[in-house]
Structure 1
């Protein structure tokens, strides 16, 4: 993997980054027009309203102003300013908000818990987005009339509907299996095609909307926020519930911040304001204008916008766009997993780099197959995008609300905003998101529970893992011996010295590894040169090579090496040892013996963790990838020494 600090970004022109960002950043929000107004007005939607003139004007107004307030103002104007060394996303924002606070601080604890829950909810969202996106695009085969029309006979029409729906499900399943099956190849090669295809998609969105807008320009009144407000105030319970469907228009907004590290804030802003927002607005306005004159098309307003000759090309383009959107979310889930593992909130799992030159190009087999199984299960159980829409939105809204809260803390600590300024701004966004969340929670028993349950399970796993690791370190520190004391002791009573170099990995700098004490106890010998190595993950995404390694001589052939990594970087011990040469310590990993301690966790009644969580931590420890594999230590050069630890 390229070890430079911010590889590639400064070498690409802004226009190139704008095009590239289209395929990765805006895929999810760019495919929302396929199903947003459909869920608001389609008779097949479990939560819909009649497609009257006033309702259409009010809903389109709400959609436009949701895009303006939450995406344009919240994310693009303010949240993108919270730049953690070039990276964005809920975990980066969590690190910024907690920066400078002590480990014992209650505020830090609240910030970390919020950040972890937000990250866990994004995993829940990750299993729904590919399913609903691809399914809604393939449904265009039926909505666009490409599969024929239902027979007049009621019994025959029911059978036709059943067979047609299962055909759509089978095609969707095939596309998803194909998408997840090629993930091991990496997206570096195909990524260059994402931008142009997505650019064509947004141009098509605008082109579909303009003719209908010209025939019904009265829909432009939707830019007046009064229509949206009037709809909410007079719509009663029905008007409030529809907010859950309106929110579908801004799902994917979190990606604008999460993917900032790949492209930078400026290209994302340019792409949004020059192409994405105009295309989305024109398409929503066009759908609204069409429904005002032909409300009977509410069952599939997006695909009904196209002339009959363009139905098949539109379905194919929509499918390509949704596959790209799914790919972007899968890649984002990989990055989120890597961050969580590096920060110590998830066990080590197999992470493969699929490109030597492209930053962030990773493949995580376990996550990939879990996502695939979950997506396929959702498609087979829910079967239609309308049914899936009931499960969609709850987790995203919660994550957006958590981002708002974390932004408040970050603004106070980073830019020293006054309480009044930070509270006023975040309260505005928070009230809007609370309204959307309340409406989405009404869909809880229709499927909205699913991403929340997934999020809670992952949140418990992350907090349990972090707490367990802290307790293990505390138990081991109880009988710890400092490295300096060990060196002094060995100088007084020197054991047998054997030739070669030994590297002892330790999680706490300055503490003598238990593996070394066990080795001395059993072999009564020590290597000619001993290196204590500690790998530290910083609260920043990327640590440059200039700060990667710290080498200290402890005398008598003992050395202390500290490697520093960002939470978006995977440690590479052989590379780290090569970098030690610049600090007068030359080590060849191929001829070095690595000693690793392996803790065997025994749940007990000791204070610190509930017994059931102790069992969860013990199971996760057994399933975690071997340290030697994760740290890329040469096979055959590792000796593991176990120790039982009660927690």
Structure 2
């Protein structure tokens, strides 16, 4: 998102003009045009939900399901109608119409909802907000499970089309899927900028093909058009609830990827996403589902195994397998990128340790690569493919991750609508209860699959949630203990004048990273106590993450004199958003020479970092097992110099030991 780089900003009462910074092209820019934004949204946002037709219908009527749905004409019409109206209500009405309006400075996603709710302007007790925030963190944790399952089930379902082309190729499904997945994750380090332009056109071809194929199936059996009436969905639920309830565990696969509409809001904006959904994606998916339903009604035995690929003539099946594989790779790419984005936000908000992050595009801020997350996802996806070996078995696990995330999003959104936007109670509770009832039906239906694989995303969610909340709590304990070790900055500065031997002030500027302006940086204290020296200009730098995606450059740095001007000590606070890249030298360059105490340039400045060696102690702040988890998690923390973009040749690291 573009920010004004030519605005005036204030530094300790001095108003100055921000220096020109390289512009970051915004995906919202008018030069791209509506068509370009819409095509881009098709290539990134809709890969997951757009490939659901490959496996949804066959999963619902799979005879190996622990709760099989008989493929009678009435059941088929009821199921197809239930799918159509679930997509209409949840995706079109809830997400596109309502949820996409809840943006945090243009950014979406469940973590954006958390930051919106926790703002002071939103009424509510601290306990309520903390509970909703914890719920949102669990939803974000479930998303990591989704990020593992989506590539596995999507690519598997596409490659399984080879079995329709030639049944003798069935044994190659898992090896081919594994090779595609390995190549996909190996390519992440190169970024998606070069191939991203191809995603949109490929998905246009994809949605056109599945829509046309669906029309072909409908022409063979127009009776399936009855499913467009909601009476068939309602009748199926009320008249055959014992069947319909269990079918909902697979019907939910039709709305997988709905959360991506919200998560990718900041990349394309609501209008482009809504246009792409309503003009192409929604009609194409409905036509495909109707066409598959028509085939199953026509021959519930022969057409049940893979109705999606059977919609096209035999000569077109192999090309469709290739196209489906390309579409599922795009779907996987989108969810992997989403995992990188969620991890980045969680790091900035303090729920994960610093991880090494590479920005793979000079133009798009959101295109990042997180190596540690990438390799964990690749190992997890390969494990799922080898363990489950078929898309219909993975479907049991997939539905639980999706329904859990959607249900949590519904709760957070309608709380926000009532308490932040002050919408009428009858409107909020009316719509909210309808959506929540539907979400809970899907969630409870997926609960019946717990022993058949649905336990997997729950386990992943609980594990990630435990790590994230433990890290947050551990950081708070370490910060409190560290402040005790650091001591008062005021007392430290006063003691400089009477210290014996006297402190030698050497030429130059030293920048000490610290958590606040009340305490003394450990590195500064160690430098004075052990080396008896301090630079002529000492800058204490605190970095804070605001609950917004991006902080404009004009508002990124604030300088405080603290009354220590005569001692050459200045405090600076650098503010970043949770989607910003924390580039410390660039941020500091904006205040060089702004006031007499600051040198005109920081090109020769030395940077001092205080690192902490953590040990499990006897304090009662956390159970011992959580302390061990916190210490273990700290082992994956990326180097602070790299994370804050500090110059290696001018960075000094001084360590200390703290017990938790």
- Give the TM-score range, shorter chain: over 0.9
Deviation of 1:104 (Å) = 8.6
Q: Distance in 1 between matches of 2:138 and 2:604?
A: 44
User: What are the Cα deviations for residues 170-214 of structure 1, in whole angstroms up to 9, with x where unaligned?
Assistant: 111111111111111100110000000001101111100112212
RMSD: 2.0
1:572 aligns with 2:583: yes
Tell me what 1:536 maps to: 544
Stretch moving more, 571-580 or 2-11: 2-11
Distance in 2 of aligned mates of 1:454 and 1:525: 50
TM-score (normalizing by structure 2): 0.92
Structure 1-normalised TM-score?
Answer: 0.94
State how 1:189-588 maps to structure 2 within 5 Å.
189-296=194-301, 297-478=303-484, 480-490=486-496, 495-554=503-562, 555-556=565-566, 557-581=568-592, 583-584=594-595, 585-586=598-599, 588=601
Partner of 2:26: 7
Write out per-residue CA displacement over residues 442-467 of structure 1, whole angstroms, 9 at most, x where no aligned residue: 11111111111111111011001100
- Post-superposition offset of 1:398: 0.6
Q: Is the CA contact (8 Å cut-off) linking 2:593 and 2:601 kept in structure 1?
A: no
SS at match of 1:57: helix
Partner of 2:157: 136
**Structure 2 partner of 1:157:** none
CA contact (8 A) 2:191 2:369 kept: yes
1:47 and 1:306 map into 2 onto residues whose CA distance is 29
Q: Alpha carbons of 1:293 and 1:323: their partners in 2 closer, same or farther (altered >3 Å)?
A: same
Q: CA deviation at 1:473?
A: 1.3
Quote how far apart the aligned CAs of 1:89 are.
0.4
Unmatched tracts of structure 2, length 5 or more: 2-20
User: Which residue matches 1:153?
Assistant: none
Residues 288, 78 of structure 1: CA spacing in aligned structure 2 closer, same or farther, 3 A cutoff? same
Shift of 1:496: 1.6
Match of 1:152 in 2: none
SS at match of 1:537: strand
Q: How many Å apart are 1:596 and its aligned residue?
A: 1.2
Report whether the alignment pairs 1:99 with 2:119. Answer: yes
Residue 605 (str. 1) matches residue 605 (str. 2):
no
**1:396-450 deviation per Cα after TM superposition (whole angstroms, max 9, x unaligned):** 1111111011112221333122444322222211110100011111111111111
Encode CA deviations 1:98-127: one digit per residue, 9 max, x unaligned.
111699911221122111111110001111
CA deviations over 1:344-389 (Å, ceiling 9, x no partner): 1001111111111112111111111111111111111111111111
CA distance in 2 between counterparts of 1:419 and 1:472 reads: 43
- What is the distance in 1 between the residues matched to 2:23 and 2:473? 33
Partner of 2:17: none
Question: For the structure 1 residues 209 and 582, does the alpha-carbon distance in structure 2 shift closer, same or farther, using more than 3 Å as the test?
Answer: farther
Whole-angstrom distance in 2 between the partners of 1:375 and 1:99 = 37
Structure 2 CA distance for aligned equivalents of residues 578 and 291 of structure 1 = 66
Structure-1 separation of matches of 2:272 and 2:342:
22
Superposed displacement of residue 590, structure 1 = 4.8
SS in 2 for 1:390: helix
8 Å Cα contact 2:592-2:602 kept in structure 1: no
Aligned pairs (5 A) from 1:52-91: 52-91=72-111
- Cα distance change, pair 592–94 in 1 and its aligned pair in 2 (3 A): same
The 8 Å contact of residues 131 and 376 in structure 1, kept in 2 or not, is answered as yes
SS at structure 1 position matched to 2:508: strand
Between 100-109 and 552-561, the greater mean CA deviation after superposition: 100-109
Query: Residue in 1 aligned with 2:38?
Result: 18
Shift of 1:645: 2.0
Give the secondary structure class of the aligned counterpart of 2:398. coil
> 2:372, 2:451 → 1: CA distance?
29
Maintained 8 Å contact 1:594/1:637: yes
Please state how far the C-alpha of 1:43 moved relative to its aligned partner. Answer: 2.7
| Structure 1: gaps spanning 5 or more residues | 149-159
* Match in the other structure for 1:51: 71
The Cα of 1:129 is off from its aligned counterpart by: 0.3
Q: Which residue of 2 aligns with 1:147?
A: 166
Q: Is the contact between residue 57 and residue 307 of structure 2 (CA under 8 Å) also seen in structure 1?
A: yes
Aligned partner of 1:151 in structure 2 is none
Match of 2:647 in 1: 634
Greater mean deviation of Cα atoms: 16-25 or 230-239:
230-239
- Contact between 2:503 and 2:532, CA under 8 Å: does it hold in 1? yes
Residues 46, 387 of structure 1: 8 Å contact kept: no
Whole-Å separation in 1 of the counterparts to 2:490 and 2:519: 9
CA distance in 2 between partners of 1:517 and 1:480 (Å) = 8
